[in-house]
Amino acid sequence: MGQTEQKQSWWNNGQNRALVFQVVLTLAVVLFFWYIINNTLLNMEKRGIATGFGFLSQAAGFGIIQHLVAYDETYSFGRTFLVGLLNTLLVAVIGIVFATIIGLVVGVARLSSNWLISTLAAVYIEVFRNIPLLLQIFFWYFAVLRGLPLPRGSWEVNESFFMNIRGLYIPRPIFESGFSWVIWAVVLAFVVAFVIRRWARRRQAETGQQFNSTLAGLGVILILPLTVFFAVGSPLSWEVPVLKGFNFKGGMVVIPELTALVVALSIYTGAFIAEIVRSGILAVSHGQTEAALSLGLRPRRVLSLVVIPQALRVIIPQQTSQYLNLVKNSSLATAIGYPDLVSVFAGTTLNQTGQAMEVIAMTMGVYLFISLTISALMNWYNKKKMLIER
Amino acid sequence: MTVYTKSSSADLLPPVSSVGVIGWVRQNLFSSVGSSLMSLCALYLLYMTVPPAINWAFIDADWFGMDRDACTSGGACWVFVTVRINQFLFGFYPSSEYWRVVLAFSIAGILVAWLLVDRAPYKGFVGLITLVVYPIVAYFLFYGGLGLEVVETHKWGGLMLTLILATIGMVCALPLGIILALGRRSSMPIAKSFSVIFIEFWRGVPLITVLFMSSVMLPIFMPEEMQIDKLLRALIGIIFFQSAYMAEVVRGGLQAIPKASMRRLRPWDFLTGSR
C-alpha cells in the first residue's frame, strides 16, 4: 500500500480537518452562550430583576383547585412547584395506564377477523390520530363535560357515584386501624407468588414437570389479603358524597379538568399505541405461529411463548416514545386550566414573580428529567427483551 | 364403462351460505359465537350513536342566517361557521387585503404542483425560484412593504397562519435536522456530543414550554435594541423543536443503510473529516 505513504498536505489530513472543525464549533458555541448570558445579565440589571432562587420561599398567595399535598395561599412558591409537579405526574400515570389498555384492546381488535370490529377499530384509530390533541382536549372539556347537568340533576350510579358539571364525585375510602395488616398481607402475597414462580420454573427445568404458577400466584394474591382483611374485622369503610345545598359534600371529587385531560390523552395516545401493537403482532411472521402449532403448543401458549415475546421487541421502543409524548402532551393542560406544572408554575408563579429564567429552567428541567428517566428505564427493559445476537 | 364428458352434468353452484352477501356476512361477522356476540354489540353501539349524531349534525342543524337567533331547530348551529368563515381562514387580516394571501398561496400551489409533476420542464429553475425568490415575494405579500399596506403579524390568524407556520417550520427544520443527524453519527466527539445534547434537549421538553420559553426568554437573551417579532419567536421555537425530531428520523434512515455501502461511498467525508 504505497499510496498511503504519499505526502499529504496538512489540510488534506482528515484528523487535522476534524480538529479544526471541532475547535471552530466549540468556539462558536461558547461565544453564542457568552453572548446570550451577557445580554441576559444586562437585561435583568436594567429591569431590576434579581436573579436567584430566593423567590421560592416567598408566600404564593394564590389558590390551586387540585392539590395532592397540603396547600393553601400561605404556602410558598416552592410548594406550588411541588403541587404542579404532582398534578402532572398524576395525569401522566393515569393516562399511561388507560392509553395502554385502550391501545392493546384496539390494536388486537384491528386485527380481528370480524369485519365490523376491525373496521370500527380502524375508524377509531384514524379519527383520533389525525385530530390535534389540543382540539380533542377542548372537545371533552367544553363540549362534553360543560354540557353535563347541574349538581341537582347529577347522573348517579348506585347513589354513591355522581357525575355533574362540577366533576365526578366518588366515595372516599376510610382506612381504620388494622388496615396496615392487609397491606402487609398484600406484600407477603406478592413475595409468595414470586417464590412459587421461581420454584415452578426451576422444577420444570430440572424434571420437566409443569406447575401452573400463574394460577397459584393469582390465587395467593387474591386469597391471602382477603382472608387477613376479614380476619381483622374489615377495617375499611366508605364516605359517600351527599348532596347538601347546591353541591356535594364528602367523598372524593375528580375535577372536570382532570377528567377531560385524562380522557383526551388516553384516547389520543391509545390510537397510536394500537397501531404500534398491531405492527408488533404483524412483525412476527405467520411461519413462527405455524411452527409452534405443529410442535403441539396450544394456541394460548403459542401466543404467550412465541408471538408476544417477539412482538414486544418491536413494540417497546415505539411504546417508550408514546409514553414520553403523553407526559409532554399533558402540559396542554394549561389550555383548560388544569393545575399542572406548566399551568401553575410556569403560568401563575411566573406571572407573579417575574422570575422567567429560573421558572422556565426548572420547568424544562423537570420534563427533561422525567423524559430521560422513562427512556433510561425503557432502554433497560428493551435490552433485557432484545434478541441476543451472537 | 362410463366416460366422463364435461357436458354430462351441469356444474353445481357453491352453497348459498358461502357466497354473495350471506356468505360474506357469515364469514366476516358471524364466524363463531364470540364473533357473533361482538358483531351484535358493535351493531347496537352504532345504532345508539350514529343516527343521533347524523340527526344533530345534518338533519336538525341550522345552516343559514346571521346570528344565534337563526338557530331554532335544536341541532348543530353551523350559522357561526358560515358567518365567520373569513375569520377561520384569515384571522384579523384586513379584508381589503385578502387577495394578497390568496395570491401568495396560489403561487405556492402552482410552484409545488410544477415540482410534483414528473415530466414538467425546467424543474431545477422552478425549484430555485421556489426556495429563493418565492420566500421574498411571499414576505412582501403577507407582511407588506414596497407600496403594499403593512399588516402586523398579530393580525394574522386562522388557517392562513397555521399553513404559514407549518410550511416555514418544515422547510427550515429539515436541513437543520439533516445536519444534526450527520453530527450525531459523526466520529468527531465534540460535534457528536453537541448534536446529542441539542437533540435530546428539544425532544425532552414539551412544545408548549418551548413556546413559553421563546416568547418569554428570547427578548431577555437578545440585546434590548433588538426587538423580535412575536410570531418570529414562536417560529424559532417550532423550528428548533421540529429539527430535533427530524434529526432522529434522518438518523433512522441513515442507520438502515448497510455498513458496507456506507464504506464504499461517504459523500460527507468532507464534513466529518474521518477516513
Q: Do B261 and B165 belong together in one domain?
A: yes
Amino acid at position A51, single letter: T
Q: Is A113 in Cβ contact with B31 (below 8 Å)? A: yes
Question: What ipTM was estimated for this complex?
Answer: 0.78
Residue B2 in any domain: the answer is: no
Residues spanned by the domain of B112:
85-156
Q: Do B214 and B129 belong together in one domain?
A: no
Closest CA to A257 of A339, A365, A318: A339
Q: Is A117 exposed, middle or buried (0-12, 13-18, 19+ CB in 10 A)?
A: buried
- Cα gap B188→A183, rounded to integer Å: 54
Contacts of B200 in chain A (CB under 8 A): 372
Contacts of B46 in chain A (CB under 8 A): 120
- Domain CATH number, residue A60: 1.10.3720.10
pLDDT > 90 in chain A, percent: 28
Q: Do B53 and B137 belong together in one domain?
A: no
Instruction: Compute the nearest-CA separation of A206 from chain B (Å).
Output: 40
Chain B: residue whose CA lies nearest to A365: B205
Q: Are A318 and A352 in contact (CB under 8 A)?
A: no
- Among A241-255, A371-385, B77-91, which range has the highest average pLDDT? B77-91
Q: Note whether A36 contacts B: Cβ–Cβ < 8 A.
A: yes
Residue B56 in any domain: the answer is: yes
pLDDT mean over A2-31 = 78
Closest CA to A355 of A47, A23, A20, A14: A47
The pLDDT score that the predictor gives to residue A60 is: 79
- Number of structural domains (chain A) is 1
Residue A127 in any domain: the answer is: yes
pLDDT band at A1; cut points 50, 70, 90? very low
Residues spanned by the domain of A381:
42-134+257-390
Instruction: Compute the nearest-CA separation of B65 from chain A (Å).
Output: 23
Chain A: residue whose CA lies nearest to B31: A114
Q: Note whether B208 contacts A: Cβ–Cβ < 8 A.
A: yes
Q: Which residue, of B156, B176, B200, is where some domain finishes?
A: B156
How far CA B134 is from CA of B139, B158, B167, in Å, comes to: 8, 22, 13
Q: Is B29 in Cβ contact with A115 (below 8 Å)? A: yes
pLDDT tens-digit map of A119-159: 999 999 999 999 999 999 999 998 888 878 887 777 877 77
pTM of the model: 0.82
Q: Is A40 in Cβ contact with B224 (below 8 Å)? A: no
- Cα gap A188→A298, rounded to integer Å: 33
pLDDT band at A2; cut points 50, 70, 90? very low
Residue B4 in any domain: the answer is: no
Q: Where are the alpha helices (DSSP H) in chain B?
A: 20-28, 33-54, 79-83, 85-90, 98-116, 123-128, 134-143, 158-185, 189-204, 207-216, 218-221, 230-255, 259-264, 269-272
Q: Do B162 and B230 belong together in one domain?
A: yes
pLDDT band at A100; cut points 50, 70, 90? very high
Q: Note whether B80 contacts A: Cβ–Cβ < 8 A.
A: no
Q: Is B220 in Cβ contact with A44 (below 8 Å)? A: yes
How would you write the pLDDT of chain B (275 residues) with one tens digit per residue? Answer: 666 666 656 778 888 777 788 888 888 888 888 888 989 999 999 999 999 889 888 888 888 777 777 777 777 888 888 888 888 899 888 888 889 999 999 999 999 999 998 888 888 889 899 889 999 999 999 888 888 888 888 889 899 999 999 999 999 999 999 999 999 888 888 989 999 899 989 988 889 888 888 888 888 888 877 778 888 889 999 999 999 999 989 988 887 777 766 666 555 555 555 54
pLDDT tens-digit map of A269-310: 999 999 999 999 998 888 998 999 999 988 888 888 888 888
pLDDT exceeds 80 at position A7 = no
- DSSP annotation of B29: T
- Cα gap A163→A251, rounded to integer Å: 13
Contacts of A363 in chain B (CB under 8 A): 209, 212
Positive or negative torsion for Cα A340, A341, A347, A352:
positive
The pLDDT score that the predictor gives to residue B30 is: 85
Q: Which residue has the higher pLDDT, B254 or A109?
A: A109
Q: Which residue, of B156, B173, B191, is where some domain finishes?
A: B156
Pairing relation of β-strands A161-164 and A155-157?
antiparallel
- Cα gap B110→B105, rounded to integer Å: 9
- Domain CATH number, residue B165: 1.10.3720.10
- Cα gap B167→A193, rounded to integer Å: 56
